[in-house]
Amino acid sequence: MHKPSRLALTTCLLAVFAAPAAFAADAPVATVNGVAIPQSRMDLILKSQEEHGVKDSPELRQQIRDFLVTNEVLVQEAKKQGIDKSDAVKQELEMAQRGVLLNAFQQNFIKTNVISDDQLKAEYDRLKAATPSKEYHARHILVKTEKEANAILAQLKKGKSFDALAKAKSDDLGSKNSGGDLGWSDPSQYVKEFGEAMVALKPGEITQTPVKSQYGYHIIKLEGVREAEGPKFEDVKPQLQQEMQRTAFDKMIQDLKGKAKVE
């Protein structure tokens, strides 16, 4: 049986912020010491649970009812002890209330500022155009000194296996066991010196001099080049939508801050 998630947070916030008049028409799910627990409170929690993949059921409703009763008993006792009068508690409640309000404001912004499919497709095309069109399959051997790198280059020129030398000599623990294989990637994924040296090679070629970077000295072998496919529009559409909504929301915040009188 699934247990309700985040019930404590949801219920406590509702108990604090819900105005009694708002629930006047509700049939209570329970009454604790004369205080009615409105159906609206359970409905809101049920909605939250369904959004998290929990199916409505009599068992779930009973769990929520039990939790609401327990919560109400504890809230009443806290008030009886005067805990709700504490300045620190009042401040925390105020901050929590502001958090609920701001979350509702953000959700309303997203709901009323819909990103169209045309906008999403335009952003996808823009990002695709800015993405490198080619991917490179490279191997490398990384060592600490230029002297070590030149010694390895000399062995390669004598016909020594790149794979074997990478396994024996490379300091890159992530690739040495696979013969220095770095797989397919675009140049921007590497440090500048490495990426520039890699794209200057033709498939099958090895850098003739060591390539110095912040990590040490690299000997690079280019295995192949291919056209970058990139993700399909439908696969990245949800992520694009979230990012564009976030960007629009951030811009709205900056606009409001720019208009606000802050002293």
Using the Cα atoms of residue 192, residue 197, residue 198 and residue 199 in order, give the sign of their dihedral: positive
Residue with tokens 């490198």: 132
Q: Give tens-digit pLDDT for 173-194.
A: 999 999 999 999 999 999 999 9
Across residues 86-96, what is the average pLDDT?
95
230 pLDDT band, cuts 50/70/90, is confident
pLDDT, position 131: 83
- Give dist(CA 38, CA 68) in Å, integer: 10
pLDDT > 70: percent of the chain: 90
- CA nearest 180: which of 154, 213, 142? 142
128 Cβ contact list (under 8 Å, min separation 6): 230
196 Cβ contact list (under 8 Å, min separation 6): 187
* Domains of the chain in sequence order: 7-112 (no CATH), 129-227 (3.10.50.40)
Q: Give tens-digit pLDDT for 52-69.
A: 999 999 999 999 999 999
Bigger pLDDT: 36 or 230?
36
- Give dist(CA 22, CA 159) in Å, integer: 83
Q: Give tens-digit pLDDT for 17-39.
A: 443 444 445 689 999 999 999 99
